[in-house]
Amino acid sequence: MLDATRRQVMYGLGATLGTVAFNGLVTGESRGKSAKPQAAGPLAVKPQHVAAKAKRCIFLMMSGGPSHIDTFDPKPKLRDIHLKEFKRQDKFASAMASGKRYFVQSPYKFVKAGKAGIDMCEHWKHLAGVADELCVYRGCVGESINHPTANYHMNTGNRFGGDPAIGAWVTYGLGSINQDLPGFVVLPEVAYPQGGAANWSNGFLPPYYQGTPFRAQGSPVLDLHPPKGVTREHQRANLDLLATLNREHMKRHPQHDELAARMANYELAFRMQMQVPDLIDLNREKQATRDAYGIGGELTDGFGRQCLLARRLVERGVRFVQIYAAGWDSHDYIERAHRRRIGAVDQPIAALIRDLKQRGMLNQTLIVWCGEFGRSPDNGMRGGVKQGRDHNAKAMAIWLAGGGVNAGQVVGATDEIGDKAVEVVHPIRDLHVTLLRLLGLDDNKLTYFHAGRFKQLSQVGGEVINELIA
């Protein structure tokens, strides 16, 4: 009878709170109308392993694989061999490519930006103004040229999916600063990246640590608000009754930790109803701020909203925010495609950096910009008309900004045609270890026992890329 009653209450509650209950992260329970959640439980703030350079992270994921050769790694040599035939023999040649292949020069000019003279494509007009805040890294290499597996690798350290995302690991290791909001928030586009929600999964970690997707427009989380006529007092009474029933159930089934996590998620959903509507209302920002982010612009509105929302999220204590921007998979017409993608993200990113700096937050906010891989110096073009680039995991462009990075520097290098990294070469796991270190976490200590062994983000251990840290 108890289990039947419990199910009835849970189903009724689910109709009120909807899917947010399964995406939230929380610690503790609130009791009564004015009670605050206790700072205890799986998402309580935890001590760092090492001194942290940054308290929070905004991860800008350019889904599709931006070309390093056409963004931050110019290759003049390609002008000399443009459209000359190249026979690509290695495993990174795309299965989609067939017939003859040709070298492709960049269709863009490059400029030296900032006091450091960092190379940038001419279309990074706004980012060039904050170039001295960037540390551009040209030495990272991946292991996959397929979008889903490469996305998983960059986001979780495991090409095959199923492992926790880096945001989940960070939240597991450090806890959540604001107990009324998720510790790990994801701002995807309407279409999820290849690989889907597994890119921000909790994997084998407890469900508390999964990423919570927010929408930058409209209701941030579907079914966030209760049905008409259902009061917060009614919701509170439902939650308290359900908690009582669940405590009795867990006494008999203590191994069911998923139940505790689900109930904690309902509690968070209840508190988010008060926090999130104000948070998502970008009209509370000054018009000048919205203009700076490009909100209202034809190309920049969507990503501008994501970036401004990310700033508001970290300002309120969200530990890890990941933003997705797709459309970088330019096998053809790269001049047009990359120009539009750069135009969509350039102004919002520069505004985010400036905004954080003006608020005194940049020095403790780590910003990461990357895709799942880079692109090749050659492509299988049809008659030399549709100039583009293939996938390339041996070279990519990544830059960091903010908390503790070696700003105003270019670290590493690729060969003269941009085919592969040749200086300060490190695999993705070392990049992950470095990001954790900047946030005060030691990859060798940040472990979780699963399937008979202690697992970690790097899979098998890695080393810090010291050249990236100030």
Domains of the chain (ranges, CATH numbers): 46-224+283-468 (3.40.720.10)
Convert the pLDDT of each residue in 146-182 to its tens digit: 999 999 999 999 999 999 999 999 999 999 998 888 9
Amino acid at position 352, single letter: L
Alpha-carbon distance of 216 to 455, in angstroms, equals 34
Tokens linked to 278: 């104000």
Radius of gyration of the CA atoms of the chain, in A: 23
For 423, the enclosing helix (H) or strand (E) is strand 421-423
Phi, psi of 126 (to 5 degrees): -90, -40
Alpha-carbon distance of 179 to 175, in angstroms, equals 9
Convert the pLDDT of each residue in 244-285 to its tens digit: 666 666 677 666 666 666 655 555 554 555 556 678 889 999
Tokens linked to 144: 């996959």
Convert the pLDDT of each residue in 357-403 to its tens digit: 999 999 999 999 999 999 999 886 555 557 899 999 999 999 999 99
Q: What percent of the chain has pLDDT over 70?
A: 75
Q: What is the number of alpha carbons within 13 Å of residue 332 lying toward its C-beta? A: 8
Cβ 160 vs Cβ 114: under 8 Å: no
Q: What is the pLDDT of residue 1?
A: 39
Output the pTM of the full model: 0.83
Tokens linked to 160: 């095959």
